Amino acid sequence: MRNKGTLKKDIRLSGIGIHTGQEVALCLKPSSSGEIIFRRTDLDNLEVNLNPQYVRVKNSTYLESQGCRIQTLEHLLAVLYVFGIDSVVVEMNGDEIPIMDGSAAPFAEAVQEAGIEHLPEERVSLQILKPYQVKQKDASLSFTPDSDFIITYCIEYDHPLIQKQELSVSVNVESFVTEIAPARTFGFLKDVPSLRARDLALGGSLDNAVVLDDEGLLGGTLRFPDEFVRHKILDLIGDLSLLKSPLSGHFKANRAGHDLHLKTVHFLLNNPEFIGVRL
């Protein structure tokens, strides 16, 4: 087993929340608590522990407890998971993690620069014990035993730049930093009015998202030809991190999203015969 980890020094970042459109200052602080704790400095330092029972989904993954909300967790959680940081205080003066450039790369770069401190407490690793498939309409997320943590993701959109994309990645620090973290969130121009009518994507722009019209890309270039499916893998890593332990298993997602990711997390938490401690 590996030991739990925290940061060697504070990380300070700021940016716009993609859904709220509000500027948020973020400070990640070293901690020996063994937990990921969110502290709202705008709410008298109210603290909320990361607990999957309090996590909800609405176009992103968010935590809601004690009357406060922490939105758009998935990119930051993916970085903390991959780098083995499970003991940290995340201070913020708003209710949404900054979207940065739409990817997890700024968070990953900041963690690499800060460095990781190993704690005396050991981390419990989990492994998939037997296969199962979680379904939701025409989407599915299955898992099978494997000695590594592998994600295979397949998406299909009726758009010339996407169509059908599939990618399989063995998740580790190197593959994450080079192949997954730089992939940005994406959306369609035609969906913007309905999203904003629901107070979503108020901070979305070409600076923090890949935006598509009916024919192609609005401004800029893709970082990868299959950047879209790579970003879906990023989201799934962040959502699976809610299991709060290193994972071994092969997860295969088809047309999935945050709803199905979270449904799978709860299935595993409620059905321990499918997942156990890795010795």
Which CATH number do you get for residue 91? 3.30.230.20
pLDDT in tens, the chain (279 residues): 589 999 999 999 999 999 889 999 999 999 999 999 999 999 999 999 999 999 999 888 999 998 899 999 999 999 999 999 999 999 999 999 999 999 999 999 999 999 999 999 999 999 999 999 999 999 999 999 999 999 999 999 999 999 999 999 999 999 999 999 999 999 888 888 887 878 677 888 888 999 999 888 988 899 999 999 999 999 999 999 999 999 999 999 999 999 999 999 999 999 999 999 986
Could you write out the three-class secondary structure of 188-215? EHHHHHHHHHCCCCCCCCCCCCEEECCC
Domain-ending residue, one of 69, 104, 122? 122
Shared-domain flag, residues 9 and 111: yes
Shared-domain flag, residues 155 and 260: yes
Structural domain of residue 253, as residue ranges? 126-277
What six digits make up the tokens of 38?
């969110």
Shared-domain flag, residues 109 and 159: no
* Torsion angle of C-alpha atoms 187, 103, 33, 148, degrees rounded to 10: 100
Shared-domain flag, residues 113 and 141: no
Shared-domain flag, residues 61 and 140: no
Number of structural domains found in the chain = 2
The answer to whether the predicted template modeling score (pTM) of the entire model surpasses 0.85 is yes
Q: Which residues are marked as active site?
A: 258
What six digits make up the tokens of 228?
């879209």
Please, what sign has the CA dihedral across residues 46, 123, 82, 106? positive
Domain-ending residue, one of 122, 154, 186? 122
Taking a C-beta distance cutoff of 8 angstroms, is the pair 209, 229 a contact? no
Please, what sign has the CA dihedral across residues 153, 73, 262, 117? positive
